[in-house]
A and B are shown apart, each in its own frame.
Chain A
Amino acid sequence: MSALLLPHALLLQLAANPQSGVALPPHWGWLVILYFFLGGLAAGSYFIATMLELVGDPRDEEAIRLGYLIAFPLVVVCGLLLVLDLGKPLRFWHMLIQSERVPLPILKAWSPISVGSWVLTAFGFFAFVSFVGVLVEQGRLRWDPLVRADRWARERPRPFSILWGIAGAFFAFFLAGYTGVLVTGTSLPFWHNARLMGGLFLASAASTSYALMILLLLRRDRTAAGVTVAKLERADRLAIVLELIILAVMILLLGSVARPMIAGGFGVVFWLGVVLLGLVTPLVLHWRRHRAAAAVVTPGGRVAAHASAGDGYRRAALSATCVLVGGLLLRFVIVMSPQWPRVPLWYL
């Protein structure tokens, strides 16, 4: 099938130097797939909230709160997924602390899984602080020391909050991207040679997070969130385009090494589920919505425009759902395709 998709000579040329490993699949199953997906969402929603806080306007308040409110619970779920995935779950702390020399920490800067453990912890801290901040702000949490801490934090000068936001966003980006580098740091040929995987996961994390925020904002209030939703859709469009570019370059660079993902049954899921449903469809829906809006608004003004509002809402929700489904399928084909059939499709 891959031969149909790329000229054979090109395939051979591009695959000139594939690393030939005989590595065993590490049996990373659905716990890891879900972690990659939800970790991307946690990081992305935190990043979006931070960005809106730094460069947005007062109308984005709702989205900022929403982003911080979903980021932390998702990080907690991510942590649980990772702990459950271990062969010895109770030894999860060995990832951070030298078990023979407690409490000395262990960090291998050259090992993505070691760095990732620390980044997840650090990001969890940032997400937790912002989460508590929103709860206090909403008056849902009234414990006095927290309220005072919150007031103190809000009275800090602007540079402080900017630095804080940048630090949090850094860990968010790292969390979303390192999962891609994690699979690059193996000896399975497809994973090992995919140098663009980190970038792909980042772009996908951003795009799925925009989609999740759009869906939640639309659910909450179909009209009031309009300005923010428009911003998010604009950003999502760019993220999807970026993701498509990275994906195309990655496949071209990999050539025949990408065969596990782009050929056979996984190829069907990839081309139809990831590319067509998850990337092309949302872009087409965005574009068609704009054409429809333009056609309706220009002649008559507002009245006619409102008539298409329900239709537009459905399209916005549909395109966001497609992005989310595509993002999950992307992680499924990337994680599973080089491991199958030694690792069954339903392996946890």
Chain B
Amino acid sequence: MAKGFYTDTTICIGCKACQVACHQWNQLPAEEGGRRELSGRSYDNTVRLSALNWRHVKFIEQIPESRAQTGFMQGSRWLMMSDVCKHCVRAGCLEVCPTGAIIRTEFDSVFIQQDVCNGCRACVGACPFGVVDIGEDGKAHKCTLCYDRLQHGMEPACAQACPTDSIRFGEVSDLMQLAERRAAELKAQGVNGYVYGKEDIVGGLNAFYVLVDEPHVYGLPDKPELPSANVDSGFAVSAATAAALAVTGVVSFRKNRMDEMAAAEEGTVRDEPRRLSWQEDDTLPPPDDTRGGPR
């Protein structure tokens, strides 16, 4: 029984009630005591998900270069999307966490146990969506899918606060049906709506979206991979290199001995004192070779 979010970005009005509800319920303080520089990016001054912002409403203004060409408001679009941890079915952060701090809960959500996390930050680089962040306390933080509320049969604060039901909480399979229906509806209206977060996106997202433009327009990866995708081949390359280094090491280290053995077999005794390292040369003709005559 996987629980998750279905976020229909087409009916998001950018009110940020989800952000506020999240801050309030999870007692997340304002950054820098509430002083905030304006980002200059539309109405978005949160900028990104972080240790203190587990919900983040994105504002994407799509306005043609010249309005004269299209007429007032023609061809313009204002996309809004409430971003959150995707609670991936195959979660990169969970996969890589060396301490076992990141677990999958009974609701199939991905949860960071604060008393276990030691702040190694492997999960930060691992998350393909840039969700996990390190807080002032040195530990990793992200959306908990309101684990505490779920345990008491409540829905997450953001979903409850959303006035347009852009954010819906529930059983993932049920929500997916709703999303598919919505995407089909949009298509019928001539809008290219689709579900982002089906199984093609790192095995499925428990918090998925209906989008109307390419994923990267929303700051989402077009085709994310699990962080571990190249780890096996990385180790294979390492093993091959190790073997090559071992062989070159043995060859280089044994060369003197081989030379001496060869010399002994030929019955020549080198009476010349051993040359210094920087004078040794494999390509040198033996200077004291008096056997004479070209072979």
Contacts and interface: CB of A to CB of B under 8 A. Distances in A.
17 contacts: A24-B124, A24-B125, A87-B120, A87-B137, A100-B116, A113-B96, A114-B96, A181-B235, A184-B230, A184-B231, A185-B228, A185-B231, A186-B227, A188-B125, A294-B284, A302-B273, A315-B278
Interface stretch (B14-22, B185-193, B244-252): B244-252
Nearest to A241: B248
Contacts, number: 289
B95 A198 contact: no
Interface string A122-150: 00000000000000000000000000000
Given A22-B220, A88-B139, A290 B252 contact: no
Nearest to B233: A195
Interface of B: 48, 92, 95-101, 115-122, 124-130, 132-134, 137-140, 216, 219-225, 227-231, 233-235, 237-242, 244-246, 248-257, 272-285, 287
A186 B134 contact: no
A297 B200 CA distance: 68
Closest 5 CB pairs of A and B: A87-B119, A87-B138, A312-B278, A198-B238, A177-B238
B276 A23 contact: no
A174 B245 CA distance: 13
A328 interface: no
Contacts of A14: none
Interface of A: 19-28, 47-48, 51-52, 55-57, 60, 85-89, 91-92, 94-95, 98-100, 106, 108, 110-114, 117, 169, 173-174, 177-178, 180-181, 183-188, 191-203, 206, 223, 225-235, 238-239, 242, 246, 289-290, 293-294, 296-298, 301-302, 305-306, 308-309, 312-313, 315-316
Contact of A23 (B127, B239, B256, B275): B127
Contacts of B252: 231-232, 234-235, 238
Contact of B222 (A20, A52, A187): A20
Contacts of B120: 85-87, 95, 113
A44 to B, nearest CB: 9
B125 A25 contact: yes
Nearest to A243: B241
A184 B246 CA distance: 23
Given A23-B126, A230-B277, 19 more contacts: A47-B249, A85-B120, A87-B117, A88-B139, A91-B119, A113-B98, A113-B122, A184-B230, A184-B234, A191-B125, A229-B278, A230-B280, A242-B244, A246-B241, A293-B284, A294-B284, A297-B287, A298-B285, A298-B287
A309 B139 CA distance: 56
A187 B277 contact: no
Given A95-B120, A294-B281, A111 B97 contact: yes
Nearest to A110: B228
